[in-house]
Amino acid sequence: MKKVKIALLGLGNVGRGVWMILNSNKEEIMKRSGYEVEVSKILVRDLKKERGVEVPSELLTTDFNDIINDDSIKIVVEVMGGIEPAREYMLESMNKRKHIVTANKMLLATGGDELFQKADSQGVMFNYEASVAGGIPIINGINESLTANKIEKLYGIVNGTTNYILTKMEFENLSFNEALKQAQEMGYAETDPTSDIEGFDAQYKLAILSSLAFGTKIKVENVYREGISKIESIDIQYAREFKKVIKLLAIVKDNAGKLELRVHPTMIPENHPLANVYDSFNAVFIKGNAVGDLMFYGRGAGDLPTGSAVISDIVSILRSNIDIDNINTVVKNNLWDKELYNIEEVISKYYIRLTVEDRPGVLGEITSVFGSMNVGLLSVIQRGRDIENENKVTLVLVTHYTKEGNILNSIDSVCKLNSVYKINNIIRMEEFN
Amino acid sequence: MKKVKIALLGLGNVGRGVWMILNSNKEEIMKRSGYEVEVSKILVRDLKKERGVEVPSELLTTDFNDIINDDSIKIVVEVMGGIEPAREYMLESMNKRKHIVTANKMLLATGGDELFQKADSQGVMFNYEASVAGGIPIINGINESLTANKIEKLYGIVNGTTNYILTKMEFENLSFNEALKQAQEMGYAETDPTSDIEGFDAQYKLAILSSLAFGTKIKVENVYREGISKIESIDIQYAREFKKVIKLLAIVKDNAGKLELRVHPTMIPENHPLANVYDSFNAVFIKGNAVGDLMFYGRGAGDLPTGSAVISDIVSILRSNIDIDNINTVVKNNLWDKELYNIEEVISKYYIRLTVEDRPGVLGEITSVFGSMNVGLLSVIQRGRDIENENKVTLVLVTHYTKEGNILNSIDSVCKLNSVYKINNIIRMEEFN
């Protein structure tokens, strides 16, 4: 049996998963890759830290030089996260013609180009299946299995924390804050949950997926982003009336070569496959012009699922040809230039919830404003007066397909009406057609 | 741009899809593979037949020698189906060191071993993504993305025709025969629908998937098979009472190295992701010991989805290295020997629907028989007398987890009771735990 030496950069959650699987599934990996995989060094910051896993202490090092200067190490597995020093370590490793496997979504989304170019110029492999949607093989799916397709649309539930929170809100009628607290207790949400709940994590992932799916270079800042912290129980109840559920979706659509890219809470039909993705599960739904509808569903995080993705990347390198001169690297990014839409140009249906004065004529005033901005209304719901607010009622509007710019202008004008106390929420609706 | 010549064997549904995609998505395929793909010959039986697609007549041939003797043809794409001459043509092509892409589930399931061995001995690539579940990249998923896993369980809805029929029965309360007729009108079912409705098609596909997932050689005849033709509307109604739906599932489980393999109608919980796979869609649900739960969902048939899978296989060959001497073929079958269970040894819960005499004491007689065979009953439903059958009532039993052998013995004894007129149906239940 041939043997290959690899190094891990980092021994946190994902690193521990990789180590555990390499040990527990040694035989499977050996038979399927043709190699015995030996972890010969693990870079850590603190040699003494308790890791929750038994690793021989002689493998641990705090000095990256022990790895970069060891020519017997052929693959460097970056599972430390963050921008620096991860970026520098990967570039240096590739300079020494070591192959790279990384799980680093932030670095890929913000500085991936430099890394891809280095891999290309050095003729090494650079794999990143674990960077998006954990154990779900979505990178390989797009990269290897959809090569015959023009991808038209991609919709992802790519953040498990927010999906867990929305599931709790839907099934247990919890408030956003109560659900967030539960997510934190379960370990699904960080102490500072901003990156998840405000959609930054999903934004990174959509930039990576879109760059790959459309063979272009998408900058994170070109992905419109909105989180779920404004979603209230009442929005979920109204969604149910419309036979919809609310999900934080990462969306990209290609309209004749021009892309729209956005991450935001979205009302989707309750019978769509994405609507049935609950708890911390992730899923990516793709429409290709040949394959039609396709969905990948699974665990978007966790030590073992993410470790599974990392190791599939290692095996893929081993199967390709460890003889690096024979690797047929195909540059998959930057095949096409794409124009991008501004969010104002995006066309959608909108759910708008307002608090307004309860007196005759108010509904007419408000709907007239939308009408004058060419926003058609599909349905209007106004129930009896709120008990606690004697002079206020909730008004819910659903629009026809409209340019977002028209919605924003309408809202601007509606806000100026004396009868309108508050715009409580605006949520886009998606019908997948 | 490098150029590669390929030949198609067959120009039916799938062949047409391949041709159409190669033309409409030429640029995508070229950029992603690094090659311009040229179809230089297409083997057909009838040069005059109307194909529903425009193909230059000089490409068509009825003589396989035009392909096998043309050394410029590097890849042979077998989309003719059936055993012979597909088998012979593929073997001959590999003898001439041409790579193979095939969509032929029947041949793979019954004689795949010979083909895999030939590919290995000739050092050519042999790809078969399109043989199972059409456009869903399940072969690549298992083969490339789950390499770090011990696969524990796999459940597939791999036959679109039966899923369409069951969906129609569920949502429109059609009888089996009415739903089958609709499926035939929609073109989802053949004039002779036996292969689909009796589970033969799913049996082939499970043999292929299991061989790959467990790195072993599964013979079709070792897959237990039962179709959906005995399912009645009343069974679907009872399923609904138990919050379950009925799906034709292809199931394989690895119990400490021993496999159970079976295709049969199955009652599954209505909130399981597979329960929400409707119409002619397919899905494969996998439990790996690292990745956890994973599901692939999409179009299981059709010219373009299946063509998408065929072309991804072509691109995969082009990316590997067209220089056949450098292909690192890893034999993926026959890595492990596995024992197999007989169906009598399988453990499941069972739904049993009987027609029995309506008189005091009958329920006691029947449940005693099950008790004496160690079959525990989880629930018993007996409603008022059937209107049309004055002396008959329907009895529905749901058992605890039980060996199938015990069920069969119980049924044998129950049949001998004078009070039992008929065993209407026995349906296994799956709880995915």
Interchain CB distance below 8 Å, A308 and B149: yes
Report chain B residues whose CB lies below 8 A from the CB of A294: 135-137, 296-299
Angle at the Cα of B45 (from B40 to B49), degrees rounded to 5?
A: 90
Average pLDDT over residues B298-325: 87
Interchain CB distance below 8 Å, A147 and B299: no
Q: Which residue of A has its CA nearest to B139?
A: A145
Q: State how far the Cα of B61 lies from the Cα of B46, in Å rounded to an integer.
A: 9
In the three-class reduction of DSSP (H, G, I as helix; E, B as strand; rest coil), residue B133 is classed as coil
In the three-class reduction of DSSP (H, G, I as helix; E, B as strand; rest coil), residue A14 is classed as helix
Burial of B229 (0-12, 13-18, 19+ CB in 10 A): middle
Strand partners, A227: none
Interchain CB distance below 8 Å, B299 and A320: no
Q: State how far the Cα of B409 lies from the Cα of B413, in Å rounded to an integer.
A: 6
Gap from A142 CA to chain B (nearest CA, Å): 10
Confidence bin at A333 (pLDDT 50/70/90)? low
Q: Which domains does chain B have, with CATH numbers?
A: 2-134+303-326 (3.40.50.720), 139-299 (3.30.360.10), 346-429 (3.30.70.260)
Average pLDDT over residues A51-79: 96
Nearest CB among A146, A309, A330 relative to B319 is that of A330
Which helix (DSSP H) or strand (DSSP E) does residue A2 occupy? strand A2-9
Phi, psi (degrees; rounded to nearest 5) at A371: -60, -40
Interchain CB distance below 8 Å, B291 and A297: no
- Please, what sign has the CA dihedral across residues A94, A96, A99, A105? negative
Bond from prior residue into A85 cis (ω within 30 degrees of 0): yes
Q: State how far the Cα of B431 lies from the Cα of B348, in Å rounded to an integer.
A: 9
Strand partners, A264: A249
Interchain CB distance below 8 Å, B298 and A295: yes
Confidence bin at A321 (pLDDT 50/70/90)? low
Nearest to B155 by CA among B217, B215, B112, B210: B210
So what's the pLDDT on residue A272?
A: 95
pLDDT greater than 80 at residue A279:
yes
Pairs of residues, one from chain A and one from chain B, whose beta carbons lie less than 8 Å apart? 209
pLDDT greater than 70 at residue B329:
no
Average pLDDT over residues A211-226: 95
Token output for A249: 């979706």
Nearest to B316 by CA among B77, B39, B20, B17: B77
Nearest to A212 by CA among A277, A282, A268, A133: A133
Report chain B residues whose CB lies below 8 A from the CB of A310: 148
Q: What is the pLDDT of residues B152-169, one digit of tens each?
A: 999 999 999 999 999 999
Angle at the Cα of A250 (from A249 to A256), degrees rounded to 5?
A: 120
Report chain A residues whose CB lies below 8 A from the CB of B137: 141, 144-146, 294
Nearest to B305 by CA among A290, A153, A150, A287: A290
Best of A154, A285, A308 to substitute, by most chain B Cβ atoms within 10 angstroms, is A308
Q: Strands A35-43 and A60-61, how do they pair? A: parallel
Gap from A173 CA to chain B (nearest CA, Å): 19
Interchain CB distance below 8 Å, B321 and A328: yes
So what's the pLDDT on residue B52?
A: 86
Distances (CA, A) of A95 to A68, A89, A323, A401: 9, 10, 16, 51
First to last CA, chain B: 52
Gap from B433 CA to chain A (nearest CA, Å): 16
pLDDT greater than 70 at residue A183:
yes
**Nearby residues of A271 by Cβ (< 8 Å), 6 or more positions away:** A243, B276
So what's the pLDDT on residue B321?
A: 61
First to last CA, chain A: 52
Interchain CB distance below 8 Å, A281 and B293: yes
Gap from A260 CA to chain B (nearest CA, Å): 20
Confidence bin at A423 (pLDDT 50/70/90)? very high
Confidence bin at A385 (pLDDT 50/70/90)? low
So what's the pLDDT on residue A1?
A: 82
Helix axis angle for A160-172 and A233-241, nearest 10°, is: 70
So what's the pLDDT on residue B99?
A: 96
pLDDT greater than 70 at residue A387:
no
Report chain A residues whose CB lies below 8 A from the CB of B288: 135, 308
Written as one letter, the residue type at A289 is: N
Report yes or no: A424 and A355 within 8 Å, Cβ to Cβ: yes
Interchain CB distance below 8 Å, B326 and A330: no
So what's the pLDDT on residue A386?
A: 63
| Neighbouring C-alpha atoms within 13 Å toward the C-beta of B310 | 34
Q: State how far the Cα of A74 lies from the Cα of A71, in Å rounded to an integer.
A: 7
Q: Strands B281-288 and B402-403, how do they pair? A: unpaired
Report chain B residues whose CB lies below 8 A from the CB of A150: 25, 28
Q: Strands B151-157 and B339-340, how do they pair? A: unpaired
pLDDT greater than 50 at residue A6:
yes
Gap from B292 CA to chain A (nearest CA, Å): 6
Report chain A residues whose CB lies below 8 A from the CB of B326: 321, 326
Active-site choice (B41, B168, B205, B253): B205
Q: State how far the Cα of A149 lies from the Cα of B21, in Å rounded to an integer.
A: 8
Nearest to A273 by CA among A155, A143, A170: A155
Task: Say which residue the tokens 């690297």 belong to.
Answer: A329
Number of H helices, E strands in chain A: 14, 18
Burial code (b: 16+ CB inside 10 Å, e: under 16) for A13-32 equals bbbbbbbbbbeebeebbbbb
Question: Which stretches of A253-379 are DSSP H helices?
Answer: 303-320, 362-372
So what's the pLDDT on residue A433?
A: 86
Q: Which residue of A has its CA nearest to B22?
A: A148
Q: Which residue of A has its CA nearest to B304?
A: A290
Written as one letter, the residue type at A189 is: A
Confidence bin at A325 (pLDDT 50/70/90)? very low
Nearest CB among A24, A32, A294 relative to B147 is that of A32
Confidence bin at A235 (pLDDT 50/70/90)? very high
**Nearby residues of B243 by Cβ (< 8 Å), 6 or more positions away:** B269, B270, B271
Token output for B144: 């490339």
Confidence bin at B331 (pLDDT 50/70/90)? very low
Burial of A184 (0-12, 13-18, 19+ CB in 10 A): middle
So what's the pLDDT on residue B325?
A: 45
Token output for A165: 């929170």
pLDDT greater than 90 at residue B328:
no
Q: What is the pLDDT of residues B5-41, one digit of tens each?
A: 999 999 999 999 999 999 999 999 999 999 999 999 9
Q: Strands A151-157 and A281-288, how do they pair? A: antiparallel
Report yes or no: A41 and A7 within 8 Å, Cβ to Cβ: yes
Report yes or no: A399 and A350 within 8 Å, Cβ to Cβ: yes
Q: Check residues A427 and B391 and name the one with the higher pLDDT.
A: A427
Rg (CA), chain A: 24
Which residue ranges of B make up the annotated binding site? Answer: 105, 190
| Neighbouring C-alpha atoms within 13 Å toward the C-beta of A13 | 12
Beta strands in B71-161 (DSSP E): 73-78, 99-102, 126-127, 151-157
DSSP state of B270: T
**Nearby residues of B111 by Cβ (< 8 Å), 6 or more positions away:** B83, B87
DSSP output for B342-359: -GGG-EEEEEEEEEEE-S
**Nearby residues of B374 by Cβ (< 8 Å), 6 or more positions away:** B402, B406
Average pLDDT over residues B135-149: 96
Angle at the Cα of A157 (from A156 to A160), degrees rounded to 5?
A: 145
Gap from B212 CA to chain A (nearest CA, Å): 11
Interchain CB distance below 8 Å, A294 and B136: yes
Report chain A residues whose CB lies below 8 A from the CB of B35: none
Average pLDDT, rounded, for chain A: 94
- Chain centroid to Cα B161, Å, comes to 11
Report yes or no: A338 and A216 within 8 Å, Cβ to Cβ: yes
Report chain B residues whose CB lies below 8 A from the CB of A140: 140-141, 144-145
**Is A190 annotated as ligand-binding?**
yes
Best of A33, A291, A294 to substitute, by most chain B Cβ atoms within 10 angstroms, is A291
Q: What count of residues does chain A have?
A: 433
Distances (CA, A) of B370 to B352, B377, B378: 11, 8, 12
**Nearby residues of A32 by Cβ (< 8 Å), 6 or more positions away:** A315, B147, B215, B330, B332, B335
Interchain CB distance below 8 Å, A137 and B145: yes
Q: What is the pLDDT of residues A119-138, one digit of tens each?
A: 989 989 999 999 999 999 99
Q: State how far the Cα of B359 lies from the Cα of B420, in Å rounded to an integer.
A: 11
Interchain CB distance below 8 Å, A304 and B291: yes
Q: State how far the Cα of A314 lies from the Cα of A25, in Å rounded to an integer.
A: 14
Q: What is the pLDDT of residues B34-78, one digit of tens each?
A: 999 999 999 999 999 988 899 999 999 999 999 999 999 999 999
Q: What is the pLDDT of residues B201-217, one digit of tens each?
A: 999 999 999 999 999 99
Gap from A222 CA to chain B (nearest CA, Å): 24
Q: State how far the Cα of B200 lies from the Cα of B197, in Å rounded to an integer.
A: 8
Nearest CB among B31, B33, B148 relative to A311 is that of B148
Nearest CB among A276, A293, A294 relative to B276 is that of A276
Which residue ranges of B make up the annotated binding site for L-homoserine? Answer: 190
> For chain B, what percentages of helix, strand and coil (3-state, to nearest 5) are there?
40, 25, 35
Nearest CB among A136, A288, A312 relative to B147 is that of A312
Q: Between the CA atoms of B71, B72, B78 and B82, what dihedral angle is there, to the nearest 10 degrees?
A: -30
Confidence bin at A324 (pLDDT 50/70/90)? very low
Token output for B127: 């790809």
Q: Which residues of A are catalytic?
A: 205
